[in-house]
Structure 1
Amino acid sequence: MAGAATSAVGAALVVVACASMMVGCSAPGPAGGTGSPEASALADLGTFAAVGDSITDADSPDFAAGDFGDASWAKYVVDDGFAFAGGWAEWGATTAMMADAVGPVDADVLVVLAGTNDVAFSIPFEDSAANLERIVEVVGIEDVVVVSIPPMDALPAGAEAYNERLHELATDQGWRWVEASAGLRTADGRFADGMSLDGLHPSVEGARVLGEAIASALREG
């Protein structure tokens, strides 16, 4: 049963990723995927970089340029007063893909929300951890915020187990841990009503809850 569920989720992610490309959702940036949007100069509270997958990219017309869609949590961090300095996010990306694609970014803080696809494709956590360490090393920002992955309705136990180990990794590495996905899930580890339309990606309201939690954590420093 668990293997079938994992295969189903993995196949769904690939289909959604392909669909995203066909309708023109955010295309991946150049190798390194970094940018320095002019909006960074308008920051009230500082600048942030972001690395992630479809949870971060969502419906953004051009994520790397800071043109976010309403279903991207990054939009609500910017709305809170932080400025986007660059980063990389792509539908279907595993932590290995992120580590291969990112480049240096000049920002106050790095926000990493990664691992949903690793769980879906049963990638060993040890590999995910090594990839996350490589992401942080390449981006080159000392202040790192690691965010819990959202629920996965088809694999609630998998997402929960991943988050537990991710929290431990963040603590060991001296990164800040943010349980920003807590507001999205029910007691059984699935998405709460209205927080997702497909059981995998946050809805616009879910993205708002996620983004506001991340922004709150950035404010606390």
Structure 2
Amino acid sequence: MVGAATAAAGRAARGIGAAFMGLACASMIVGCSAREPADGTGSPEASALAVLGTFAAVGDSITDADSPDFAAGDIGDASWTRYVVDDGFDFAGGWAEWGATTAMMADAVGRVDADVLVLLAGTNDVAFGIPFEDSAANLDRIVEVVGIEEVVVVSIPPMDTLPAGAEAYNERLHDLATDQGWRFVDASAGLGTADGRFGEGMSLDGLHPSAEGARVLGEAIATALREE
């Protein structure tokens, strides 16, 4: 819808400023439940939510996106978490905030009870030129604090202004996940082109996935979770 796209674009523009100015605030999410079906009928889709398991999410604006109130479980169309929930997984909680670096996430997260932790973090670290060694230490701290044994680390989406930076980060992220015994999922691969930038319709600003991009990202994550 035009209104939703306009709101998402406005939020994205604000998020770019936040990302490059280092502005962020904490927003804890604990025990958020999955969305009820629109018809309120208690359909089989709703009853199957817990069958596939629960997931926690930690991230930045890629995860929070256009959510009216992510902390309350009111998730927007441009958040990949919505499509994981739609696929049948139950959202158990986590933390996500616009402009957050991995250090900010590590300082803000708390313990969450879920089957798997999905961690999509690092876009702002690349933007700020934070050494990967620091990012790696922060990611390890996030996993330790959240306290979930099963960890899925997701590749960060393309960055049209820093395509080589995002690609290099993801390569090192893959190696880190292997070393730490985490599962690496290149779910962002479906968003990009051969030159490392967003594909047509996948982003509104070259940094954040559009609603369609979030759907592609979320469905790839959900597929990976199903295969565990």
Tell me by how many angstroms 1:217 deviates: 0.3
The one-letter code of the counterpart of 2:159 is M
Q: Deviating runs (4+, > 4 A) in structure 1?
A: 15-18
Structure 1 residue aligned with 2:193: 186
Tell me by how many angstroms 1:199 deviates: 0.3
Change (3 A) 1:141 1:161: same
2:177 counterpart (170, 173, 185): 170
Are 1:34 and 2:26 matched, yes or no?
no
Are 1:153 and 2:160 matched, yes or no?
yes
Tell me by how many angstroms 1:191 deviates: 0.3
Over aligned residue pairs, what C-alpha RMSD do you find?
2.1
d(CA) in 2 for partners of 1:151, 1:141: 27
2:109 counterpart (94, 102, 108): 102
Change (3 A) 1:50 1:15: closer
Tell me by how many angstroms 1:15 deviates: 4.5
d(CA) in 2 for partners of 1:43, 1:214: 17
d(CA) in 1 for partners of 2:115, 2:168: 30
Report Cα offsets for 1:7-66 as digits up to 9, x if no partner. xxxx97235799x99xxxxx742xxx1310244994231100000000000001121222
Structure 2 residue aligned with 1:4: none
Structure 1 residue aligned with 2:62: 55
Structure 2 residue aligned with 1:14: 17
**What is the total number of aligned residue pairs between the two structures?**
202
Change (3 A) 1:126 1:52: same
SS of the residue 2:197 aligns to = coil
d(CA) in 2 for partners of 1:108, 1:173: 18
CA contact (8 A) 2:117 2:151 kept: yes
SS of the residue 1:193 aligns to = coil
SS of the residue 1:168 aligns to = helix
Change (3 A) 1:17 1:66: farther
Structure 1 unaligned residues grouped into runs of 5+: 1-10, 22-26
1:128 counterpart (108, 131, 135): 135
Report Cα offsets for 1:100-132 as digits up to 9, x if no partner. 000000000000000000000000000000000
d(CA) in 2 for partners of 1:202, 1:94: 18
Structure 2 unaligned residues grouped into runs of 5+: 1-13, 36-46
CA contact (8 A) 1:129 1:169 kept: yes
Structure 1 residue aligned with 2:6: none
TM-score by length of 2: 0.84
Are 1:46 and 2:22 matched, yes or no?
no
SS of the residue 2:193 aligns to = coil
Structure 1 residue aligned with 2:4: none
Change (3 A) 1:212 1:135: same
